[in-house]
């Protein structure tokens, strides 16, 4: 599988699982700002990944 296709598959899975599924399941009853912090960290990690992908891979 090419690196480009891997990037597409990984990204789609990341968006579906990390951004949609986990917040609606794991954090569905959570309190404080836990979900808020989770979403922000999830985006930061993806930003880091895209930075590395654009810089070193593609």
**Residues near another protein (CB under 8 A):** 4, 7-8, 11-12, 14-15, 19-20, 23-24, 27-36, 39-40, 42-44, 46-47, 50-51, 53-55, 58
Q: How far is the CB of 15 from another protein (least distance, A)?
A: 6
By beta-carbon proximity to another protein, the closer residue of 1 and 53 is 53
Could you give the angle at the alpha carbon of 56 between the alpha carbons of 50 and 58, nearest 5°? Answer: 75
- Burial classification of residue 14, based on how many CB atoms lie within 10 Å of its CB (0-12 exposed, 13-18 middle, 19 or more buried): middle
CB-based contact 7:50 (threshold 8 Å): no
Q: How far is the CB of 35 from another protein (least distance, A)?
A: 5
């Amino acid at each position: 599988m090419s690196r480009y296709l891997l990037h597409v598959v990984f990204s789609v899975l990341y968006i579906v699982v990390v951004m949609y599924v986990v917040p609606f399941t794991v954090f569905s009853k959570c309190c404080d700002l836990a979900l808020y912090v989770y979403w922000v960290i999830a985006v930061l990690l993806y930003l880091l990944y895209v930075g590395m992908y654009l810089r070193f891979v593609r």
